[in-house]
Amino acid sequence: MRVISRRTDAGIEVFSEDLESSRVFPVPPGFWGWSAPSTRDALVYATGDSAVIRIDPDGREQWRLDLGTEASNGQAAMIAVQFSADDAKVWVYAPDGMPGHDAWIVLDATTGEVESRRSLAAAGQGAEHFPLRDGRMLLDVGEGQDGSLIFLAGPEGEPHDYGWSDRVLIDVSPDERQFMTIDHDGQADVALHAFPGGEVLTRLTVADFGEDPEVGVIEWTGGYLDAETAIVVVYGEDEESDGPWWRHYRVGTRTGEVLGDLGIVTIDENDLQPLGDGTFVVTDTDGTLRRM
């Protein structure tokens, strides 16, 4: 199961599988990306001055990597970090602001030693990692108005560039046979792709969910409820009340059939987080996390 964590005034709060608060890691102001291992006994985070640091539960520094020019030009706040699926590695994405100069770095999670460092043909403004069971990693790099790029790599060797600039990677299915992307420019469709090749298995537009494409869009959220079911969020603005609305639709991953509305109320369109095991996490109005 994915490690659930969130930013609080006291630091990064990490939760157990039962969504009990496991601990809060004290972190200084000015940090950005973070990741906790499955053991929940450490935290890796990126600082505002272009460093990646591992700390223990008391906040004591265990190692530090100073990125220097890899996150220059005001890009430090966009560093992304992620433990590998087996907790043995830490992957670091460090934007540079110039195409071909963004860095994708793999560290030994215990020592912080750099094991590999690759350049990406990207000018990113942030990124998200998706760890895979075999040690590989998928990476979505957002380039702002210029689009979004998707890469796949193992700890060694050159990354595979899927060659798209208009697809946002949302999630990987729990059986890792497919992944989900959403159109970047107009948010007009969602696609399920074969993994690792990327061939489109299913493509659905706003109209396929019974919604008006002049009003609604496919939101950059959702994911895999389980291997057989994906959650797709359609979002729009109500013309009469001038307020937002959103609905969580279920899609069969093998057939591409729209299975209907999940029928859940959330605090906003991005709140529901599918966990891949048939359950999902939402936030109550009092801020309590609920697994359903």
pLDDT the model gives residue 70 = 52
Alpha-carbon distance of 183 to 163, in angstroms, equals 14
* CATH code where residue 103 lies: 2.130.10.10
**Residue 94 · residue 122 · CB < 8 Å:** no
Residues 179 and 279 occupy one common structural domain: yes
Average pLDDT over residues 51-69: 92
pLDDT the model gives residue 240 = 73
Q: Give me the sign of the Cα torsion angle 156, 199, 224, 52.
A: positive
List the Cα angle 152/89/117 in 5-degree steps. Answer: 60
Dmax (CA) of the chain: 58
Boundary of a domain, candidates 118, 147, 165? 165
Residues 151 and 208 occupy one common structural domain: no
Terminal-residue alpha carbon distance, the chain: 14
Residues 145 and 178 occupy one common structural domain: no
List the Cα angle 119/162/250 in 5-degree steps. Answer: 125
Which of the residue ranges 27-41, 43-57, 92-106, 200-214 has the most confident prediction, judged by mean pLDDT? 200-214
- Convert the pLDDT of each residue in 2-57 to its tens digit: 899 999 999 999 999 999 999 999 998 777 799 999 999 999 999 877 899 999 99
Residue 42 neighbours by CB under 8 Å, 6+ apart: 36, 54, 55, 56, 57, 62
Specify burial of residue 82 (Cβ count, 10 A radius: 0-12, 13-18, 19+). buried
